[in-house]
Amino acid sequence: MTTEAPTIDLTGSRPRLRRERRVRRLFLGAAVTSILISLLIVGSLAGEAWSFISKVDLSSLWDLGWFPRRDMFDIKTVVTGTLLISLIAMVVATPLGLGAAIYLSEYARPRARRWLKPILEVLAGVPSVVLGYFALTWISPNIVMRLNPHAGVFSMAAAGIGVGILVTPLVASVSEDAMRAVPHALREASYGLGAKKATTVTRVVFPAAASGIMASLILGLSRAIGETMVVAMAAGAVGGSLFELNVFEPGQTMTAAMTALAIGSDQVAGSNNAFQSLFFVGLLLFLMTLTLNLISDRFVRKVREKY
Amino acid sequence: MSRKLGLIALLLALALIAAACGDDDATTTSAAPTTTAAPTTTAAGQSTTTAAALTGSIDISGSSTVEPISAGVAEMFNAMYPGVAIKVEGPGTGDGAQLFCSGQIDIGDASRAYKDSEKELCAENGIEFIELVVAIDGLSVLTSTQNDAFACLATSDLYAVLGPESIGFGSWADANALAAEIGAPNAPYPDADLVITAPGEESGTFDTFVEFLIDGVAGGEDYAETRGAESVRPDYVASPNDNVIIEGVAGSQYSLGWVGYAFYLANQDRVKALAIDAGEGCVAPSAETIANGSYPFSRPLYIYVNKASAARPEVAAYVDLYLSEQGLSVIDQTGYVRLADYAPTLEAWQNR
Amino acid sequence: MATRAAAPSTTDLVRQSIQGRRLGFGDIAFPAALLLALLLALLFLATLLIDVFVRAWDAFAGRGFSVVTSPLSLNAGTAGLWQSIMGSLALTAVVAALAFPIGVGAAIYLEEYAPDNRFTRFISTNIRNLAGVPSIVYGILGLTIFVRFVRAVGAGGGVYGKNLLAGGLTLAALVLPIVIITTAEALRAVPSAIREAGFGVGATRWEVIRYHVIPYAAPGILTGTVLTLARAFGETAPLLLVGAATGFFSMGSAGFIDRAVGPYTALPVTIFSWARQPGADFRSLTAAAIVVLLVLLLTANAAAIILRNRYERKW
């Protein structure tokens, strides 16, 4: 893509050219695999989701709550739960992630940066099942139950904070990249005008990196919406839940609802619609994250075009 | 270049080798901790001769309440017959029945008898089975150890806060009007948060509770008859996982929940079992009250054995061990209560 | 502190001379707040590690390494992680065998061969989107496609296709886009001069890639792959859908083939199912399992970094 090969008419050896074509076709095949996977994902979701929609009583999609085994598939319960938890996650991840990013990119001395950045990467590498355990056994009693004594062990707040910690390194690394991509000349121009460091960071670097920072937040949100294990372990409503807006109560998310329907090697094999609702929710989740990813991609491309 | 490729190949090869021989080690060590069970002291029956030579596989799934017994027996069995592969899962009685009646597993664990609809599914698929009662479980109604308001609830109290007419009640006091209407003895209730954590619809424990409370099987009023109730309220924290329920119940002062007696026993320090009054006075769950039937919320536990599978020597040997004195000791370890008389169960098994 | 920037350049000196005495509250409070945000994130990590290690202490002190070497059990006194660790390693091997060649191949095509047209751009956008698809959605892909595929080719075993192969395929699909993206980055870092020199002496494109580009990019590719495999190693949600065992199982005298197609479990799945078991013993065991998982992952990460440092300056 990057280099223009000189036209190689001079190398006439046929077996050599044939091998060249074979190798190229092999690699093209590998690249096309990714499209195949996308098609399979959409296909596997859409087929069963459609048969769910055509079988189910549409009024059961707007009900008292999400109780798939009682034929109550209230979409607003799982979508609201997902959005509430993602919102809490972003309330945690935005200040922590952006703060860390600005500090690392603008203030940290090279030596400090060399130490802090890998530690942040370790945090990014902690598997979500571990954070789920942490949210349940530490965040819930030590943070959530102190904020609100009425909160139970399982709450959307505990899950949200857990997801927030999970998303923080992602927000930090993407927005740090965006700020480091801002040309040094801009900063120097600002200093030249007599601006202070804090002013330069907030008025010059930050706006210049705005679309990259936006991308990092949208990417974080998308990741939070799709996060499964933390929510399945700490949010509580494993089987079903009434429509709930209080974040100190247990809640149901799309991902947790899916896990509850298909845990272990055994699944609901019955004739009811519970199992197929898994695919419907999966399709919804897929479309939501896809939209967010496309938007964030747009923002990232804007950054690339600028600098 | 070649060095790097070699490195990659080496890493891959190591991983593959580890994976390949790893499980062998697993089985050899699996025999180690419990080798006290001598391979010759076999169960109540046939296969005494070629003990260690047994091979094949046994698939077990169903109630998470029965899972500890089946898994305990499976471990014991593996110590005697390391050649047999066994898998025990606990997704719930209902889901287990679906798998059993579609012929995907050999033994279905159940914390209630299979429903007629499930038996019909078995018949449709040509699955014949043997129903074996293996133990008794008291279904314990739980609250937190900090709950100083109640030590005993009548079935009418439970209906007032857990029945289908109590949808949306977030506080005990919300149920006062309903409780007065049906004459619940403990009303009026305190104005305190009502947090309910209990098994969901996939669980046999849920079905049993509905039968006990709503259908009056435990001896209380038949609310299905008198108030047209079909099930309990849907709006509680439902989990197939008993530990989640224990956590939820322990986490709030005036909480309610229900689990199998064994799970209550394992967590006595964190939760309190309420005595139940189903018309004949308050009875708290204990090994005696469950065994003699005076505790109203007690139930038999079942295993269902596929007849075709029972013809396989490894499955037969497993069930033999299950019903032997040695196998039944697992019931004591897991906190359930033995049947007063195993003769009918053994007879059903022998007449297969 | 606030005024000291990354490197004491001329600008810094000029700036200091202009604003040296005008250090306001914001100049200290602002970076302090930023540092606080960073430290808070790291504090969570430290709390997590300390909390897990303290909880795991009971299990390790009481049982020693039998926690690692024992097989699965529902009895907290004898339960161990051996099958889970081996299952995870085997899964990772399957993932590496599938995702590494396909991912590197796709990246080579995109970076070295593909013309800059709409089709190529579509593929790269598609790959970036695949990288953002929630992992549980890949679980559905595994459940409906790979499980059936494995069963259809006769490798379903006694578990109707819900085995290591289906799990490995699912995780391979999950990490494939990440392998492609990290490999493409490593290839992009190779200076064009190296390629041009190759073409200049009459090498074909494949020869240039094979003998010049790949060796140059190898440390980057390798590091990226190890980090990606670590991600697969810690993944839970899709495996729950593709049937990793959450209960007790043993493999008996089954041979290698039967093991590959029989029931399986993985370390993170065991953590999830142990976290749901009752009793204080299992709470401590769960923490012990997390310690094992973190130790394995950190070892892999450290190995990746060492590999990178070792080969970085060879060219």
Cα nearest neighbour of B246 on chain A: A153
Residue B49 has pLDDT above 50, yes or no: no
Residue C151 lies in a domain: yes
- For residues A209 and A171, the answer to whether their CB atoms sit within 8 Å is no
According to CATH, the topology of domain A60-306 is: MetI-like fold (1.10.3720)
Residue C61 lies in a domain: no
Residue C159 has pLDDT above 80, yes or no: no
- Report the Cα A294 to chain-centroid distance in Å: 12
Q: Which of C209, C252, C8 is nearest to C113 (CA)?
A: C209
Task: Answer whether B263 sits within 8 Å of C278, measured CB to CB.
Answer: yes
Give residues 43 to 72 of C whose Cβ lies within 8 Å of B.
Answer: 69-71
Q: How large is the average pLDDT for residues C117-134?
A: 92
Domain co-membership, C162 together with C117 = yes
* pLDDT at B40 (0 to 100): 39
CA distance A120 to chain C (A): 7
CA distance C298 to chain A (A): 8
Dist CA C176 CA B300 (whole Å): 50
Question: What kind and span of H or E run contains A73?
Answer: strand A72-73
Size of interface B-C (CB pairs under 8 A): 149
**How far are the Cα atoms of A147, A169, A244 from residue A144, in angstroms, in the given order?**
5, 22, 17
Range of the domain at C52: 17-56
The residues pairing with B171 across neighbouring beta strands, listed in sequence order, are B193
The first and second tokens of residue A25, run together, are 């076709």
Q: How large is the average pLDDT for residues B120-130?
A: 93
Can you tell me whether residue A242 is helix, strand or coil? strand
Residue C156 has pLDDT above 90, yes or no: no
Q: How large is the average pLDDT for residues C102-119?
A: 94
Size of interface A-C (CB pairs under 8 A): 315
Residue C181 lies in a domain: yes
Backbone phi and psi for residue C146, each to the nearest 5 degrees, phi listed first: -70, -40
Domain co-membership, C40 together with C87 = no
- Report the Cα A114 to chain-centroid distance in Å: 26
Dist CA A217 CA A20 (whole Å): 43
Residue C233 lies in a domain: yes
Residue C12 lies in a domain: no
C112: domain CATH number is 1.10.3720.10
* pLDDT at C177 (0 to 100): 95
Query: How many Cα atoms occupy the beta-carbon half-sphere of B141 within 13 Å?
Result: 30
**How far are the Cα atoms of A128, B274, C104 from residue C222, in angstroms, in the given order?**
24, 60, 10
Domain co-membership, C113 together with C233 = yes
Residue C2 lies in a domain: no
End-to-end CA distance of chain A: 20
Residue C287 lies in a domain: yes
Full set of structural domains in chain B with CATH: 41-137+300-350 (3.40.190.10), 138-299 (3.40.190.10)
Using H for helix, E for strand and C for coil, what is the string for chain B? CHHHHHHHHHHHHHHHHHHHHHHHHHHHHHHCCCCCCCCCCCCCCCCCCCHHHCCCEEEEEECCCCHHHHHHHHHHHHHHCCCCEEEECCCCHHHHHHHHHCCCCCEEEECCCCCHHHHHHHHHCCCCEEEEEEEEEEEEEEEECCCCCCCEEEHHHHHHHHCHHHCCCCEHHHHHHHHHHHCCCCCCCCCCECCEEECCCCCHHHHHHHHHHCCCCCCCCCHHHHCCCCCCCCCCEECCCHHHHHHHHHCCCCCEEEEEHHHHHHCCCCEEECEEECCCCEECCCHHHHHCCCCCCEEEEEEEEEHHHHCCHHHHHHHHHHCCHHHHHHHHHHCCECCCCCHHHHHHHHCC
* pLDDT at A300 (0 to 100): 82
Sign of torsion over alpha carbons C278, C281, C286, C289 = negative
Domain co-membership, C186 together with C304 = yes
* pLDDT at A89 (0 to 100): 97
Total of domains in chain C: 2
Give A-chain residues touching C113 at CB under 8 angstroms: 1, 24, 27-28
Backbone phi and psi for residue B274, each to the nearest 5 degrees, phi listed first: -85, 145
Count H helices and E strands in chain A, helices first.
Answer: 13, 3
* pLDDT at B142 (0 to 100): 93
Give residues 253 to 282 of C whose Cβ lies within 8 Å of B.
Answer: 253-254, 256, 258-259, 262-263, 275-279, 282
Residue C116 lies in a domain: yes
In chain C, the percentage of residues whose pLDDT exceeds 90 is: 53
pLDDT per position as a tens digit, C7-60 = 567 777 666 655 555 556 667 888 899 999 999 999 999 999 999 999 999 889
- Exposure string for A194-207, b = 16+ CB within 10 A, e = fewer: ebbbbbbbeebbbe
Nearest 5°: the CA angle C125, C127, C133 is: 105
Lookup result for tokens 């749901």: C276
Domain co-membership, C51 together with C78 = no
- Exposure string for C288-303, b = 16+ CB within 10 A, e = fewer: bbbbbbbebbeebbee
Residue C109 has pLDDT above 70, yes or no: yes
Q: Which of B61, C6, B289, C204 is nearest to A104 (CA)?
A: C6
DSSP state of A68: G
Domain co-membership, C126 together with C45 = no
Domain co-membership, C89 together with C50 = no
Q: Which of C113, C184, C186, C207 is nearest to A25 (CA)?
A: C113
pLDDT per position as a tens digit, B166-206 = 888 888 999 999 999 988 888 889 898 888 988 877 777 88
- For residues B204 and B94, the answer to whether their CB atoms sit within 8 Å is yes
Give B-chain residues touching A64 at CB under 8 angstroms: 167, 234-235
Dist CA C312 CA C315 (whole Å): 8
- For residues A130 and A225, the answer to whether their CB atoms sit within 8 Å is no
Q: How large is the average pLDDT for residues C252-261?
A: 75
Give B-chain residues touching C275 at CB under 8 angstroms: 243
Residue C138 has pLDDT above 60, yes or no: yes
* pLDDT at B70 (0 to 100): 94
Of B98, B202, B252, which is closest to A152 when you measure between CB atoms?
Answer: B252
Can you tell me whether residue C265 is helix, strand or coil? coil
Domain co-membership, C51 together with C193 = no
pLDDT per position as a tens digit, B220-255 = 788 888 887 878 888 888 776 777 788 889 888 899
Backbone phi and psi for residue B46, each to the nearest 5 degrees, phi listed first: -70, -65
In the chain, the amino acid numbered B42 is: T
Task: Answer whether C38 sits within 8 Å of A100, measured CB to CB.
Answer: yes
The first and second tokens of residue B235, run together, are 């709006």
Residue C241 has pLDDT above 80, yes or no: yes
CA distance C30 to chain A (A): 7
Dist CA B182 CA B240 (whole Å): 31
Task: Answer whether C250 sits within 8 Å of B18, measured CB to CB.
Answer: no
* pLDDT at A10 (0 to 100): 57
Domain co-membership, C44 together with C106 = no
Cis, peptide link before residue A141, omega less than 30° from 0: no
Dist CA A80 CA C168 (whole Å): 33
pLDDT truncated to tens, each residue of chain A (307 aa)?
Answer: 555 655 655 556 788 888 889 999 999 999 999 999 999 999 999 988 998 998 888 888 888 788 887 778 889 999 999 999 999 999 999 999 999 999 999 999 988 888 888 888 888 889 999 999 999 999 998 999 899 887 777 889 999 999 999 999 999 999 998 999 899 999 999 999 988 888 899 889 999 999 999 999 999 999 999 999 999 989 876 667 778 888 888 888 999 988 888 764 344 444 467 788 889 999 999 999 999 999 998 888 877 766 6
